[in-house]
Structure 1
Amino acid sequence: MTALSPSPDAPDLSYLLDHTGHVLRTRMAAALGELGLTARMHCVLVHALEEERTQIQLAEIGDMDKTTMVVTVDALEEAGLAERRPSSTDRRARVIAVTPAGARLAVKSQQVVDGVHRAALESLPKGERDALLKALTRLTEEHLAEPSPQVEGARGARRARQKG
Structure 2
Amino acid sequence: MSRPDLAAMMAPIGRALVALERPILQEHQLSMWAYAVLSSLDDEPVRTQAALAEAIGADKTRLIAVLDQLQADGLIERRPAPDDRRARVLSITAEGRRVRDAVQAAIRREEEQLLAVLPAAQRDAFVAALQALHAAVRPT
- Match of 1:53, SS state, is strand
CA distance in 2, matches of 1:32, 1:161: 25
Answering whether residue 38 of structure 2 is matched by residue 38 of structure 1, we say: no
Identity %: 34
In structure 1, the gaps of 5 or more residues are 1-7, 147-159
State the distance in 1 between where 2:56 and 2:133 align: 20
AA in 2 matched with 1:122: A
Contact map agreement 2:20 2:107 (CA 8 A) in 1: no
Q: CA deviation at 1:125?
A: 1.5
Task: Answer yes or no: is the 8 Å Cα contact 2:28–2:103 preserved in 1.
Answer: yes
Aligned to 1:74: 68
SS at match of 2:118: coil
Aligned-partner residue type, residue 110 of structure 2: V
Within-5 A mapping of 1:24-35? 24-35=17-28
Residue pair 1:84, 1:96 contacting (<8 A) in 2 also: yes
Contact 1:52–1:96 (CA<8 Å) still a contact in 2? Answer: yes
Unpaired segments ≥5 residues, structure 2: none
More helix by share: 2
Whether the aligned pair in 2 keeps the contact of 1:80 and 1:99 (CA below 8 Å) is: yes
Cα deviations across residues 31-78 of structure 1 (Å, max 9, x unaligned)? Answer: 121111122212212332442111112112211111231121122123
Larger fraction in strand: 2
SS in 1 for 2:47: coil
| 2:99 corresponds to 1:105 | yes
Whether the 8 Å contact between 1:32 and 1:112 is mirrored in structure 2 is no
Deviates more, 1:95-104 or 1:130-139: 130-139
TM-score, length of structure 2 as denominator length: 0.78
- Per the alignment, residue 53 of structure 2 pairs with 59
- Backbone CA RMSD of aligned residues: 2.5
